[in-house]
Structure 1
Amino acid sequence: MTNTIEARSQAGTAPQDRHGIRGVVARHPLGSFFTLALGLSWLAWVPYILSPHGMGVWDIHFAEVLGSAQFTGVLPGALLGPLGGAFIVTAVADGRPGLRRWVGRLFRWRVAWYWYALALVVVPALIIVSALPFAGGDVHAPTALVFAAVVPGLVIQLFSTGLSEEPGWRDFALPRLQHRFGGLGAAAILGPVWALWHMPLYLSDWGGWPNAHWSEPVVFALFTITFNVLMVQVFNKTGESLPLALLLHVGVNNTISTFFPTMYPSMTAGTLMIGLTIMSTITAVVLLVVTRGRLGYDPARRALPIDAPIPSAKPLVGSQHGTR
């Protein structure tokens, strides 16, 4: 089958006619994006990792925001990597039409209500339930203050974690990966890369340094890889809705940060990740079996240009999603 990923007639100069770095980026957008996403983030995180918030070899301090230095030490690197990398590569490879398609997914919020219920109710409930077998009986009911913090916490997560990562992983990389490798292949590549991107943070307080056990990043990586399968399924079945991908992603973070300190006060981060990983692994296996590895992606689309309109035969989304 002819690979049509690099055919960008709408993007201006053909990739094969470009020279230098711009030509490399235009001919290899996925490789360029992954290089920038990991490289820019890791480089930006070096001061935080070496600071007293990490390995403690560099006497540099980061201002605390909302009781955490991670907003000033970790978030800039996250913004530079997936978000910055996706913007740069899209601008070079696809030009303004590509940027319009890239940004356009951010406004595909008109999807069926049950997808919002999945992201905002079902998945958070499963996350809470996943920790019950590992709580050792130390379980408490959430307080009114906890419920009051859910929406503010979700908003903060959306504009920090969500918008720093999802425009890169799901908006930029996933459509290209699926166009080349299909749903299963895309999930098999994107999940490990997404997990690898987080790994340097285990040398900082983000990952519990220096007290975290060596197995914790391994368990986290397995969770990320398996949870990515659900992310791929939801992204495809909602007509590539980035708002749903954002909510699904940050819903995990927000549920843990708001509910777990009160409900499971004695549970460690490593223990809660075990429950999450078991739950996400079961979910991933079920989805792969039920969808036969397609994960909501129509293999016939691989024969079309990557910027071809999404088929609207199935009224699952309830939105105007014919233009990308």
Structure 2
Amino acid sequence: MVPSNVVDRHPVAAYFVLTLALSWSVWIPVLSSVDGPMARIAAIPGAFGPLAAAAVVTHLRGESVRAWLASTLDWRRPARWYVAALAIPIGVGLALAVVSVVMVGFEDGTLVPALLTFAINVVFATLLGGGQEEFGWRGFALPHLQTRYSALTASVVVGAVWALWHAPLFAFGVYQMAPAGYAAFVVVASVVFTWLYNGSRGCVPAAILLHGTVNASVSVPVQVVGGPSALPVPFTVLLVGAFGLLALGLTVRYGPGTLSAAAAQTPSWTGDGPERRSTVGAPGVSES
């Protein structure tokens, strides 16, 4: 028997609440006492909230955490999906760098530092600065939501909570961009992540690589022009525009149902067949 009927019937809601609780309970007291450059380092433990919450909810539903983890770590997919995970954010970053330079000009002496920072950040962001979140967002929430909703709707829901999850980082000044612009960027980027996840038939490692590369690449355009203050418009406007066009193109090309040429991916680790995932109730609903 599943120990909690509420968690069993509403795994995604339980997951979202627990993710916010775990991360915020770390971030709020820590960021209240740490500021400056150390704040980003001090925030790292809280960034594992999505992963921890997914494991806890899986366990509370009476399912195998080992099977869920094996599913999320299954990297055996065609190489093109890993290439896409690198090429999309790098391509967007280069395009935005060109747009930024056209608008305000190139800042001398910034290109090499920007590229070095990008190379370092790809490794850091993939392992500790964003990539680890994908065990939860795409590795748990998205497949559960897709048992009941279209891929587009599931993407927007995940994106909205994903954006909200960052709220303490804005409240304590760790992130310096406009919260509304950042939230819009995360929501449209979530559509691109769903395309990669569904198209690769649930490859979380590719999503991890995409997340890390996105986080690393978005700093390059503003670095080569001397910082975000040099731009005549907020950089988040450019980000939302670029990823929004990409998300729109994917939606038109593949349709909102799956956002990819493959089927919408649903939980593969439950071990009790599609019947349980399609019964009445919230995604991945109850055992009786």
Same fold (TM over 0.5): yes
Against the structure 1 CA distance between its residues 207 and 133, is the aligned structure 2 distance closer, same or farther, given a 3 Å change threshold?
same
Q: Deviation per CA, 1:246-305, whole angstroms, max 9, x where unpaired?
A: 111111111134x34641213249822211110011111111111121212536x77x99
Residue in 2 aligned with 1:70?
A: 40
Q: Secondary structure at the match of 2:77?
A: coil
**Larger relative contact order (Cα-Cα within 8 Å, sequence gap ≥ 6):** 2
User: Residues 187 and 232 of structure 1 are in contact (CA less than 8 Å); yes or no, is this contact kept in structure 2?
Assistant: yes
Q: 1:250 aligns with which of 164, 188, 212?
A: 212
Once the two structures are TM-superposed, the CA of residue 28 in structure 1 deviates from its matched residue by 2.1
Against the structure 1 CA distance between its residues 132 and 282, is the aligned structure 2 distance closer, same or farther, given a 3 Å change threshold?
same
Q: 1:105 aligns with which of 64, 71, 85?
A: 71
Against the structure 1 CA distance between its residues 107 and 204, is the aligned structure 2 distance closer, same or farther, given a 3 Å change threshold?
same
User: Residues 134 and 275 of structure 1 are in contact (CA less than 8 Å); yes or no, is this contact kept in structure 2?
Assistant: no
Q: 1:129 aligns with which of 85, 92, 95?
A: 95
Residue in 1 aligned with 2:226?
A: 265
> In 1, Cα distance between the equivalents of 2:273 and 2:212?
28
> In 2, Cα distance between the equivalents of 1:95 and 1:308?
10
> In 1, Cα distance between the equivalents of 2:90 and 2:62?
37
User: Residues 201 and 207 of structure 1 are in contact (CA less than 8 Å); yes or no, is this contact kept in structure 2?
Assistant: yes
Q: Does 1:238 align with 2:200?
A: yes
User: Residues 24 and 46 of structure 2 are in contact (CA less than 8 Å); yes or no, is this contact kept in structure 1?
Assistant: yes
Q: 2:259 aligns with which of 291, 295, 299?
A: 295
Residue in 2 aligned with 1:40?
A: 22
> In 2, Cα distance between the equivalents of 1:305 and 1:118?
26
Judge which range, 243-252 or 259-268, deviates more: 259-268
Once the two structures are TM-superposed, the CA of residue 307 in structure 1 deviates from its matched residue by 5.2
Once the two structures are TM-superposed, the CA of residue 243 in structure 1 deviates from its matched residue by 1.0
> In 2, Cα distance between the equivalents of 1:233 and 1:51?
40
Q: Does 1:199 align with 2:199?
A: no
> In 2, Cα distance between the equivalents of 1:277 and 1:156?
24
Once the two structures are TM-superposed, the CA of residue 203 in structure 1 deviates from its matched residue by 1.2
User: Residues 97 and 222 of structure 2 are in contact (CA less than 8 Å); yes or no, is this contact kept in structure 1?
Assistant: no
Once the two structures are TM-superposed, the CA of residue 242 in structure 1 deviates from its matched residue by 0.8
> In 2, Cα distance between the equivalents of 1:129 and 1:163?
23
Q: 2:240 aligns with which of 261, 273, 277?
A: 277
> In 2, Cα distance between the equivalents of 1:266 and 1:165?
27
Bigger Rg, structure 1 or 2 = 1
User: Residues 176 and 306 of structure 1 are in contact (CA less than 8 Å); yes or no, is this contact kept in structure 2?
Assistant: no
Residue in 2 aligned with 1:229?
A: 191
Q: Does 1:184 align with 2:152?
A: yes
Q: Secondary structure at the match of 1:133?
A: helix
Q: Does 1:86 align with 2:51?
A: no
> In 1, Cα distance between the equivalents of 2:26 and 2:81?
35
Once the two structures are TM-superposed, the CA of residue 226 in structure 1 deviates from its matched residue by 0.4
What are the ranges of 5 or more consecutive residues in structure 1 without an aligned counterpart? 1-12, 54-63, 311-324
Q: Secondary structure at the match of 1:165?
A: helix
Residue in 1 aligned with 2:281?
A: none
Q: What RMSD in Å do the two structures reach over aligned CA positions? A: 2.9
> In 2, Cα distance between the equivalents of 1:187 and 1:175?
10
> In 2, Cα distance between the equivalents of 1:308 and 1:235?
22
Residue in 1 aligned with 2:280?
A: none
Against the structure 1 CA distance between its residues 261 and 123, is the aligned structure 2 distance closer, same or farther, given a 3 Å change threshold?
closer
Against the structure 1 CA distance between its residues 25 and 122, is the aligned structure 2 distance closer, same or farther, given a 3 Å change threshold?
closer
User: Residues 78 and 165 of structure 1 are in contact (CA less than 8 Å); yes or no, is this contact kept in structure 2?
Assistant: yes
Once the two structures are TM-superposed, the CA of residue 88 in structure 1 deviates from its matched residue by 0.4
Aligned length: 267
Q: Secondary structure at the match of 2:63?
A: helix
Once the two structures are TM-superposed, the CA of residue 177 in structure 1 deviates from its matched residue by 0.3
Report the TM-score when normalising by structure 2.
0.81
User: Residues 142 and 154 of structure 2 are in contact (CA less than 8 Å); yes or no, is this contact kept in structure 1?
Assistant: yes
User: Residues 123 and 212 of structure 2 are in contact (CA less than 8 Å); yes or no, is this contact kept in structure 1?
Assistant: no
> In 2, Cα distance between the equivalents of 1:170 and 1:238?
12
Q: Secondary structure at the match of 1:205?
A: coil
Against the structure 1 CA distance between its residues 104 and 112, is the aligned structure 2 distance closer, same or farther, given a 3 Å change threshold?
same
